[in-house]
Amino acid sequence: MQPRAETAAACEARRAEFVSYVGSLSAKPVVSPMRVELTISTLGRVPGAGPVLELSPSSIALDGELVAERDQAGRVRRIAD
């Protein structure tokens, strides 16, 4: 049995409810700091063709190792190596 098409009034009410819901959401993005364990491929290497750089507001990690250099020049040197 085919579902019945909703009426124009029902569609408009559902649309208005959705617009109201979207309007109530925060304009600021929600950030959930976390580190994700990367899977190992069947060849025993991390997927992808290069190093993995993880950035967060409080830390930098290169291939899972914390970049401890506090100055910008030191971090650039570490990442370039």
16-67 residue pLDDT tens: 999 999 899 888 877 666 777 766 555 555 556 677 778 887 888 888 888 8
- Residue 19's alpha-carbon distances to 7, 30, 61, in angstroms, are 18, 20, 40
Predicted pLDDT at 16: 95
pLDDT band at 13; cut points 50, 70, 90:
very high
Q: What is the rounded CA–CA span in Å between residue 61 and residue 57?
A: 12
pTM of the predicted model as reported, rounded to 2 decimal places: 0.36
Predicted pLDDT at 39: 63
- Residue 13's alpha-carbon distances to 1, 25, 29, in angstroms, are 25, 19, 28
